């Protein structure tokens, strides 16, 4: 008997309270939910969500929104479920999400209401929903732990994972710990990979009565140290702390030494990668980072020197000196560069027309936007978008 995927999507949306999208042969075919926000947040993340080739997987955005993906390959049908907020959604999170999708901050209340209308699911429960659908449709048994560690970017060779009979793991000496934290702080992803492939040395003190609890406690300690190193390296503190909480929650759901150690490799690499993508100037000054965040939160406006100086508690001379020392540019030149960078991201990630992007970024006309973009990027916006 043929499966009625439309009915299944509608039922799943009603039972879970989450948006469910149906794709047929890779093409969007419908959205089922009692409320909506346009543009659909999932449509803007499609490429990343579908990157995992497995029949069941999940994806987390940089704003800590989760999406589940389920595929029925025999019928060419896919479901995308979500978003599911992982952290408490506040005004700061809403500002970041709106900026990431190129929508004005005036829509903050609308987006906040939409996200608050979505039920909060513990990560295990959400992933169990995906695994259950997959089993009933594909007859494939996938465990929650398989999903939690299935997106690793660093895998520790099994021969380097300690024998549980030796009471947990053998961990790095103080010297190796310092090396690891230094690599995280400076975003040195290749060195982190290499470090995780070395045989470990040294032993931790006893932190629990059994080996598995010992391993989880060590994971928590490592996340605490790594998140602080990432903040020191320029990663936004809210992002670092939320990411640390997320990985600790994942570790608590796992039940073996191998799984926890491999998740550790993934977590440390994730922090390091994020630090490596931070603008080097941001690593130099917390005051400068605050200024950049303000400029990004007001990306569609012309922020005056007096306004920015007042926000940072500086006079105009000190503000100009701060930006010159951190970036080698004037405040206005740096702000324009941010607009060009945001335009590049929107041209790649969305199909918004040039006129809409120009308006969103606060340019007085599309032609002015095109001129500024070409000076900053070397191509016209249309040429840049065509490059893929």
Question: 43-73 pLDDT, tens per residue?
Answer: 888 888 999 899 999 998 877 889 999 999 9
Nearest to 10 by CA among 21, 1, 2: 21
Residue 196 scores a pLDDT above 60: yes
Structural domain count of the chain: 3
Structural domain for 17, as ranges: 5-148
Question: Phi and psi of 58, rounded to 5°?
Answer: -135, 160
Q: 79-83, 204-208, 260-264, 289-293: which range is least confident on average?
A: 204-208
Asked if 141 and 209 sit in the same domain, the reply is no
Asked if 199 and 330 sit in the same domain, the reply is no
Q: What is the CATH number of the domain that holds 340?
A: 1.10.10.60
Q: Is residue 153 part of a domain?
A: no
90-99, 120-129, 221-230 — most confident range: 221-230
Asked if 98 and 191 sit in the same domain, the reply is no
Transcribe 348-384 into DSSP letters.
HH----HHHHHHHTT-S-HHHHHHHHHHHHSS-HHHH
Contact present, 43 and 53 (Cβ < 8 Å): no
Asked if 325 and 339 sit in the same domain, the reply is yes
Asked if 249 and 290 sit in the same domain, the reply is no
Contact present, 171 and 204 (Cβ < 8 Å): yes
Asked if 269 and 305 sit in the same domain, the reply is no
pTM above 0.75, yes or no: no
Asked if 186 and 222 sit in the same domain, the reply is yes
Asked if 46 and 72 sit in the same domain, the reply is yes
Residue 267 scores a pLDDT above 80: yes
Q: 159-173, 209-223, 247-261: which range is least confident on average?
A: 159-173
Asked if 261 and 292 sit in the same domain, the reply is no
């Amino acid at each position: 008997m043929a499966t009625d995927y439309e009915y299944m999507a509608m039922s799943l949306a009603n039972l879970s309270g989450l948006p469910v999208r149906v794709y047929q042969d890779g093409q969007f075919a419908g959205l089922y939910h009692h409320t909506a926000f346009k543009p659909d947040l999932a449509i803007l993340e499609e490429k990343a969500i579908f990157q995992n080739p497995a029949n069941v997987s999940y994806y987390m955005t940089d704003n800590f929104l989760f999406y589940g993906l389920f595929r029925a390959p025999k019928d060419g049908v896919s479901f995308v479920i979500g978003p599911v907020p992982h952290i408490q959604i506040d005004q700061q999170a809403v500002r970041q999400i709106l900026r990431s999708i190129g929508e004005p901050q005036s829509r903050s209340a609308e987006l906040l209401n939409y996200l608050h209308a979505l039920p909060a699911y513990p990560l295990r429960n959400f992933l169990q929903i995906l695994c259950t659908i997959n089993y009933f449709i594909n007859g494939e048994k996938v465990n929650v732990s398989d999903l939690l560690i299935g997106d690793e970017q660093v895998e520790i060779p099994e021969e380097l994972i300690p024998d549980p009979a030796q009471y947990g793991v053998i961990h790095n000496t103080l010297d190796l710990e310092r090396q690891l934290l230094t690599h995280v702080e400076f975003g040195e992803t290749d060195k982190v990979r290499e470090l995780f492939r070395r045989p470990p040395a040294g032993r931790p003190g006893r932190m629990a009565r059994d080996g598995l609890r010992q391993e989880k406690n060590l994971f928590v300690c490592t996340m605490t140290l790594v998140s602080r190193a990432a903040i020191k390296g320029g990663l936004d503190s809210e992002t670092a702390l939320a990411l640390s909480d997320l990985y600790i929650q994942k570790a608590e759901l796992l039940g073996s030494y191998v799984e926890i150690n491999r998740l550790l490799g993934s977590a440390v690499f994730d922090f390091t990668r994020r630090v490596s993508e931070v603008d080097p100037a941001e690593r130099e000054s917390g005051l400068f980072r605050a200024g950049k965040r303000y400029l990004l939160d007001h990306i569609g406006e012309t922020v005056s020197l007096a306004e920015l100086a007042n926000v940072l508690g500086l006079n105009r001379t000190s503000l100009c000196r701060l930006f010159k020392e951190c970036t080698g540019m004037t405040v206005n030149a740096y702000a324009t560069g941010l607009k060009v960078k945001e335009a590049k991201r929107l041209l790649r990630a969305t199909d918004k027309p040039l006129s809409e992007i120009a308006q969103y970024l606060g340019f007085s006309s599309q032609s002015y936007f095109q001129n500024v973009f070409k000076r900053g990027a070397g191509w016209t916006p249309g040429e840049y978008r065509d490059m893929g």
